[in-house]
Amino acid sequence: MILIEPLTKFFVDGHVVKGEKVKQKVFGGFCTCGGVMYQKSWFREGNFYILVSECEKCWRNEAMAFNGSKNLISRDEVRVIDRTEMKKFLKELLSTSEYDALIARARDEEYNYNAFSRAKKKLEDIGLEVEEVMSYL
């Protein structure tokens, strides 16, 4: 499970779910370290709701999945991708030529159109919009 923080998207089971940021400091549970967790974002996937919270003490991020009747069904650690890690995440997701074409296109440089097209398709297949992703490169 990966939270793509600048886009407020959650990457789970090979696809991306769009979410909403929590704008206030709202209690989100207790961390395994004993600290208080605060809600960061909520996501909805079918009949499931996913809450991502962050610990104020150890900065651990956790996803808690709830079913339609608001019962907790799982709790897992989450990898967070922030602005500084966006390029690394894309390198893991795309081939070298696709990544290079995406970066070149974002910089308005000459790029390999076929590689960019493949990158765009891969991103769209998982639910990411290429223009939105490029705005963070």
Is 48 in contact with 67 (CB distance < 8 Å)?
yes
Rounding to the nearest 10 degrees, give the CA dihedral for residues 100, 105, 110, 116.
60
Residue 12: band (very low, low, confident or very high) from pLDDT cuts 50, 70, 90: confident
Q: Which of 54-58, 70-74, 90-94, 115-119 has the lowest mean pLDDT?
A: 70-74
Q: What is the pTM of this model?
A: 0.84
Instruction: Give Rg (Cα) of the chain.
Output: 17
pLDDT score, position 45: 86
Residue 80: band (very low, low, confident or very high) from pLDDT cuts 50, 70, 90: very high
pLDDT score, position 90: 95
